[in-house]
Chain A
Amino acid sequence: MKALLALIVGDPLADRSVPQTGVTARLTVFVAAVMAFLAVIALAVSLTTNRVATVWAEELAQSATLRLPADPATADALLLYALEVLETTPGVSTVRALSQDEQQALLEPWFGPDLPLDALPMPQLIEIVADGDGYDVDGLRARLEGQVPGAILDDHAAWREPLLQAASRVRLIGWTVILLIGATVAAMITLAAQAALAANVQVISVLRLVGATDTYIARAFVRRFTLRAGAGAIIGAVFGVGVLALMPQGDASGSLLMDVGFAGAEWLWPLLIPLLAAIVAFFATRAAAFRRLREQT
């Protein structure tokens, strides 16, 4: 804590030993701001994917669809049998046969709005919602096979797993982008620090001559670049958070594109970005400064 305070407050006399370098300073702040903005967006995408995938997975895990054979002669009887079986199954919370309009709405994206559903042999769909503990899928399948021949229970497992895998990959990409941004900040700060050190060869030579240690000389550069990177990252993070806050929000129905942003405590995550940028700048400048000092003197 003391060291952190010393870094922020600094030693005015030591700071004055190294002249200000205007262009490098402005570029450092600018690049740190841009990188922090991109990091906030990448973080938001990653966290949103995680959130939406969780919602989708929970919804899919709790719901299932029972499809009855499209035989007009037995349809009503099968529907009654099926509802009876489902309603007496432990773990099933609600059971609802989809109406003809709802079934038509499901087919509309593929066949258009004028599909004459009455004239076609359409299977009846029943929506099943499980309670918290769920039901025995294999047991239900066995009962349906005996009492409702031809009924097919789809518990959505076939596409819930790929969906979760895809969400996991998007999250991984998001974190990889954040890591790459961190590496880019480190590389950029290293280059800027090396340029500043190279421009101050004479200053370093004089400081060594009068007995300055490497730590003393490096501190002036490290403090300067750490504060610049931190300040730039604060600007970029604030801008990124502002852009996300102004984006139109969805109805919490799990739409990825409409929900990009942060929710609840997630809004605290962007606070870490300036801190991380400053830490990266601190170590990158320190390494560059000590390397340069060893080479020069």
Chain B
Amino acid sequence: MIELDNVSYGYRGNALFSQLSLTLAPGSFHFLTGPSGAGKTTLLRLCYADLRAMRGKVRIFGEDAGALNRDAVAMSRRRIGVVHQDCQFLDHLSIAENIALPLTVSGRAGEAANDLEELLNWVGLGPQAGQLPPELSGGERQRAALARAVIVSPDVIIADEPTGNVDWEMSQRILNLLIELNKMGKTILIATHDLAMIRSAKSDVSARILRLTDGQLMQAGAEL
């Protein structure tokens, strides 16, 4: 699905990581953890071609991400659902319209009606469908972001701190939604600081836990 091969990246001449490799196989579930500033978000952005690797190769669905033109990047985003920590909504549109946005931009707005209602109920936001994003709580926004990420039935879901702003109960609810998606065959990559969430997931899903620290990506697990 997505493959990073000896990838290096940095900001203003400072290397964040170098010669890093990662493969997200179809249907796999990955947690990415590590201290703040280690480069987790950067790594995720490389995975959905929001950044281009300085060295090495990123392959997305078999294509060299560095060679993709802007339209091709947009097309690849339609197969990758992204959930940001700060959610990023269009504040002038209702939650239902925001969730349907990936369908709208891909010219499939007509498919939205049935899928949308089902999805809103799945994430428990049916009653909030007509509300504007600023009117929702942090947890509701996170669930809305997740619903938006999956409405086009993407092959891969990349979530950056999806439970960063919510309480334990809500983080479990979001995690369960992601596990459910993985059981439906979706490839999941989650960057998180929430070790408790990772521990709680271990019993429900076969997840690979990666730790990014000092520019190195290592397999973790035993200490969790």
Contact = CB atoms under 8 A, between A and B. Distances in A.
B107 to A, nearest CB: 9
Nearest to B84: A209
Nearest to A200: B90
Given A17-B104, A202-B88, A213 B93 contact: no
A208 interface: yes
B70 interface: yes
A171 B202 CA distance: 82
Contact of A17 (B82, B88, B101): B101
B199 interface: no
B71 A213 contact: yes
Contacts of A205: 88
Contacts of B78: 211
Interface string A199-226: 0001101111111111110000000000
A208 B77 CA distance: 8
Interface string B75-113: 101100010100011101100010001101110010000
Contact of A207 (B50, B82, B105): B105
A210 B71 contact: no
Contacts of B90: 17, 19, 202-203, 206
B188 to A, nearest CB: 18
A203 B93 CA distance: 11
A13 interface: yes
A16 interface: yes
Nearest to B74: A213
A19 B109 contact: no
Given A14-B104, A17-B101, A212 B74 contact: yes
A214 B70 contact: yes
B40 interface: no
Contacts of A215: 71
Interface in B102-136: 102, 104-106, 109
Given A209-B82, A214-B70, A16 B93 contact: yes
A208 B84 CA distance: 13
A13 B75 CA distance: 19
B211 interface: no
A17 B75 contact: no
Contacts of A293: 70
B74 A208 contact: yes
Given A202-B88, A206-B90, A13 B109 contact: yes
A108 B97 CA distance: 83
Contacts of B148: 210
Interface residues on B, range: 20 to 34
B105 A211 contact: yes
A206 B88 contact: yes
A203 B92 CA distance: 10
B77 A13 contact: no
Contacts of B97: 16
Given A13-B109, A17-B90, A206-B88, A214 B104 contact: no
A17 B109 CA distance: 13
B77 A210 contact: yes
Nearest to A216: B105
B105 A212 contact: yes
A209 B92 contact: no
B220 to A, nearest CB: 28
Contacts of B84: 209
Contacts of B88: 202, 205-206, 209
A266 to B, nearest CB: 45
A92 to B, nearest CB: 75
Most buried by A among B82, B90, B109, B152: B90
Contacts of A208: 74, 77
28 contacts: A14-B105, A16-B92, A16-B93, A17-B90, A17-B104, A19-B90, A19-B92, A205-B88, A206-B88, A207-B101, A207-B105, A208-B77, A209-B50, A209-B84, A209-B88, A210-B101, A210-B102, A210-B105, A211-B75, A211-B77, A211-B102, A211-B106, A212-B74, A213-B75, A214-B70, A214-B71, A293-B70, A297-B50
Given A19-B90, A209-B82, A212-B105, 11 more contacts: A13-B104, A13-B109, A14-B104, A17-B105, A206-B88, A207-B101, A208-B77, A210-B102, A210-B105, A211-B78, A297-B50
Interface of A: 13-14, 16-17, 19, 202-203, 205-216, 293-294, 297
